[in-house]
Homo-oligomer: A and B are copies of this chain.
Amino acid sequence: MLGAHDVVARYWEAAGARAWVRFGELLADEVVYELPQTRERVRGRDAYLRFNAEGFTGAWRIAVERIVAAEREAVSLIRLTEPGAEQLAITFFELDEAGRIARVTDFWPEPYRPPAGRAHLTERF
């Protein structure tokens, strides 16, 4: 059985390759996906595969920046790029006892302007 780190690495590898069969093999039958920012939810492997296969088109490339993994939990930080665009995503994963992904929760933070009044406390990069 793969550890949580390796499961997550394979998840992003398969997503980046649009290899939906390999991707689906990592998922529990009853996987639940949630996107708290939009309050969208997808239930079950088939529905989640459709959600990804239909939604994850275009020329997006995935780079995994970080994976922090505990026993049956992990979090990834990825960078999606296509010509002229870039987006970070943070994804929380929970694995079931068989090492399959049972829960996925992700976040898509957007750039914003620094709040007023703290320029004296920070530098910019």
Binding site for B on A (CB under 8 A): 34, 36-43, 47, 50-51, 54-55, 66, 68-70, 73-75, 77, 88, 90, 92, 107-115, 118, 121-125
Known A-B contacts: A37-B109, A40-B124, A41-B125. Give 20 more (CB < 8 A): A34-B125, A36-B88, A36-B109, A37-B110, A39-B125, A41-B123, A42-B121, A50-B121, A51-B121, A54-B118, A55-B121, A68-B68, A68-B70, A68-B75, A68-B92, A75-B75, A107-B107, A108-B112, A109-B109, A110-B112
* CB-CB under 8 A for A118 and B70, given A107-B88, A125-B34, A125-B39: no
- The residue on B at minimum CB distance from A76 is B75
